Amino acid sequence: MHKLHEIGFPLDKVIDGFGSALFPPAPDFLIGMGRTNDAILYGGTFIFM
């Protein structure tokens, strides 16, 4: 959704979405969120309708 927002797509037009991003476990919450974001940016797959 962030990428759609950045390119100016109206988010209220999104009907449904699905995504997956694999990332390794992390020792704490902040590192885990960083790994999640990295996985989404560099290797995630998403489908929006």
Q: Which of 1, 35, 33 minimizes the C-alpha distance to 19?
A: 1
pLDDT tens per residue, range 18-38: 777 676 788 999 998 888 788
Pairing of strands 45-48, 17-20: antiparallel
- Whether 10 has a pLDDT exceeding 90, the answer reads yes
pLDDT given at position 21: 66
pLDDT given at position 44: 67
Residue with structure tokens 């885990």?
Answer: 32
Q: What is the mean pLDDT of the chain?
A: 81
Residue with structure tokens 């476990």?
Answer: 25
Q: Domain map of the chain by residue range?
A: 14-48
Coil, strand or helix at 46: strand
